[in-house]
């Protein structure tokens, strides 16, 4: 395989920073060449709050990935998330000068660029503009208007907005860690690429990615992303509750959660007890598993109810918008015992745990097919797709756009790629 067919995904999370190096094998699966992870010390709820510590953690994870893959890492695909991300819906239109001429990519690009000019709150910037459906001269529910005739082109958009300073800080960390920013993508989008099937996206599905600092939601229907949200609670809040509720240190609380924790208190008997060693010669502490799961249960209910509110805000109860494929849980928090059953109980929707193993080659390390690595696998997949696109673009020097029939799905992505380029230039020119 050529050196340039290798891609690298970098997931800057609240709990861990993960790096994955890989390439596509002969069967179209991802062959993971190496990976690395480090404890994330400078990130709080998905937002960088200590540049120096974040740079050190990135370098540590990159070093491990370089050692295991025997490859020098330079260019990375990075995910953005965090509590500063929000989304909104917007409708816009353009009037075409010549309605006798068919609608082409330039018309759609003009319409999308118009949305980018929307005035946001101070310090915010539009990250992503995703067309939902189009109208041509009043004719509604058109997925792809290319090739049609019309004077007025309208569209409904899903617009994702983030804080400029937070995004800039991520860029600064990557640059200072000696890396180049290949492209930037929304973490819920990356996770969805790794764990959702096209059938689920068509039928309607809600992806809930429970990370350490935040819980990300991405809703798909008819193959298009319809709604995104970031809930500023994640697995770390559960750990914090256990720490406070049982009066123990954070390390012990995390261990209790992962080893004995359950989201369903009914299954534990009152006499099931765990003994925690005391600090510096103090007596050990005895904690009942029933109490432990009560603490976890209360916080998980809060997280799931907030996510379910977002699903209802999207309009899941409307017959046309019904999410037939239900819910897919991923991220580290999805490994909590009985969380699937609790989500089904609260939402009344079919639920499964999403593993990224479907895209990985059969000889991959089993640890990498854990939901914890869903985002970084998705970022690696994005990097491989970008490389393919780059290869095609270089070989088609005469063509400005991709062939017309392909425009229906990649519109949002190509616009997003342009934004990534703009953002890279902005970082390069920054003092």
**Residue range 255-283, pLDDT digits in tens:** 999 999 999 887 766 778 888 887 777 78
**Boundary of a domain, candidates 294, 314, 336:** 294
User: Structurally, how many domains does the chain consist of?
Assistant: 2
Determine the 3-state secondary structure of 39 from DSSP: strand
Question: Measured at the alpha carbon of residue 172, what is the angle toward residues 170 and 175, in degrees to the nearest 5?
Answer: 110
pLDDT value for 297? 94
In a domain, 202, yes or no: no
In a domain, 114, yes or no: yes
State the chain's mean pLDDT as an integer.
Answer: 86
Question: Measured at the alpha carbon of residue 329, what is the angle toward residues 328 and 331, in degrees to the nearest 5?
Answer: 140
pLDDT value for 30? 92
Does residue 414 have a pLDDT over 90?
no
- Give the mean pLDDT of 296-301: 94
Q: Taking the model in full, what pTM does it have? A: 0.86
Whole-number Å distance between alpha carbons of 78 and 262: 32
pLDDT value for 396? 52
Is the CA virtual torsion 378, 379, 382, 384 positive or negative? negative
In a domain, 50, yes or no: no
Does residue 225 have a pLDDT over 60?
yes
Highest averaged pLDDT of the listed ranges 84-88, 148-152, 314-318: 148-152
The position carrying tokens 């910037």 is: 125
pLDDT value for 392? 61
The string of pLDDT tens digits covering residues 19-48 is: 999 999 888 889 999 999 999 988 988 889
pLDDT value for 141? 87
Please, is 103 exposed, middle or buried when counting C-beta atoms within 10 Å of its C-beta (0-12, 13-18, 19+)? buried
282 lies in which domain range? Answer: 236-294
State the DSSP H helix or E strand holding residue 193, giving kind and residue range, or none if neither.
helix 187-195
- Strands laid side by side in the 224-231 sheet: 224-231, 215-221, 205-210, 327-330, 351-353
Residue pair 386/392 in contact (Cβ under 8 Å)? The answer is: no
pLDDT band at 334 (very low <50, low <70, confident <90, very high): very high
- Give the mean pLDDT of 148-171: 91
In a domain, 110, yes or no: yes
- Give the mean pLDDT of 150-173: 91
Whole-number Å distance between alpha carbons of 212 and 165: 22
Residue 253 burial (CB count, 10 A): 24
Does residue 329 have a pLDDT over 90?
yes
Nearest alpha carbon to residue 387 among 77, 78, 25: 77
Residue 171 or residue 426, greater confidence = 171
Residue pair 204/221 in contact (Cβ under 8 Å)? The answer is: yes
Please, is 247 exposed, middle or buried when counting C-beta atoms within 10 Å of its C-beta (0-12, 13-18, 19+)? exposed
**Boundary of a domain, candidates 244, 263, 294:** 294
**Boundary of a domain, candidates 94, 129, 161:** 161
pLDDT band at 370 (very low <50, low <70, confident <90, very high): very high
In a domain, 310, yes or no: no
State the DSSP H helix or E strand holding residue 207, giving kind and residue range, or none if neither.
strand 205-210
């Amino acid at each position: 395989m050529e050196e340039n067919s290798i891609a690298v995904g970098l997931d800057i999370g609240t709990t861990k920073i993960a790096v994955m190096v890989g390439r596509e094998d002969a069967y179209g699966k991802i062959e993971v060449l190496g990976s690395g992870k480090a404890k994330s010390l400078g990130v709080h709820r998905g937002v960088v709050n200590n540049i120096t510590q974040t740079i050190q953690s990135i370098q540590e994870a990159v070093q491990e990935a370089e050692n295991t893959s025997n490859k020098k890492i330079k260019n990375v695909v990075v995910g953005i998330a965090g509590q500063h991300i929000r989304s909104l819906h917007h409708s816009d239109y353009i009037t075409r000068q010549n309605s006798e001429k068919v609608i082409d990519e330039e018309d759609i690009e003009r319409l999308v660029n118009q949305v980018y000019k929307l005035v946001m709150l101070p310090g915010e910037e539009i990250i992503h503009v995703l067309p939902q459906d189009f109208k041509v001269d009043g004719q509604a529910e058109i997925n792809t208007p290319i090739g049609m005739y019309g004077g007025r082109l309208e569209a409904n958009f899903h617009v994702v907005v983030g804080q400029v300073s937070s995004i800039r800080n991520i860029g600064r960390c990557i640059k200072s860690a000696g890396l180049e920013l290949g492209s930037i993508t929304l973490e819920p989008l990356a996770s969805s690429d790794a764990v959702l099937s096209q059938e689920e996206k068509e039928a309607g599905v809600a992806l809930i990615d429970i990370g350490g600092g935040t819980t990300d939601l991405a809703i798909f229907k008819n193959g298009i992303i319809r709604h995104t949200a970031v809930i500023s609670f994640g697995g770390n809040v559960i750990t914090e509750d256990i720490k406070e509720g049982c009066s123990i240190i954070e390390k012990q609380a995390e261990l209790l959660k992962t080893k004995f924790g359950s989201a369903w208190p009914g299954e534990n008997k009152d006499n099931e007890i765990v003994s925690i060693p005391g600090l510096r010669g103090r007596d050990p502490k005895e904690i009942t598993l029933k109490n432990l799961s009560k603490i976890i249960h209360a916080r998980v209910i809060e997280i799931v109810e907030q996510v379910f509110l977002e699903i209802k805000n999207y309009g899941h109860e409307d017959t046309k918008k019904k999410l037939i494929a239900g819910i897919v849980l991923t991220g580290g928090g999805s490994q909590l015992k009985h969380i699937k059953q609790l989500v089904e109980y609260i939402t009344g929707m079919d639920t499964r745990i999403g593993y990224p193993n479907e895209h990985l080659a059969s000889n991959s390390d089993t640890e990498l097919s854990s939901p914890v690595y869903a985002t970084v696998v998705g970022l690696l997949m994005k990097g491989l797709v970008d490389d393919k696109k780059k290869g095609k673009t270089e070989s088609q020097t005469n063509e400005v756009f991709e062939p017309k029939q392909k425009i229906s799905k990649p519109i949002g992505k190509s616009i997003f790629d342009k934004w990534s380029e703009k953002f890279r230039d902005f970082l390069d020119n920054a003092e």
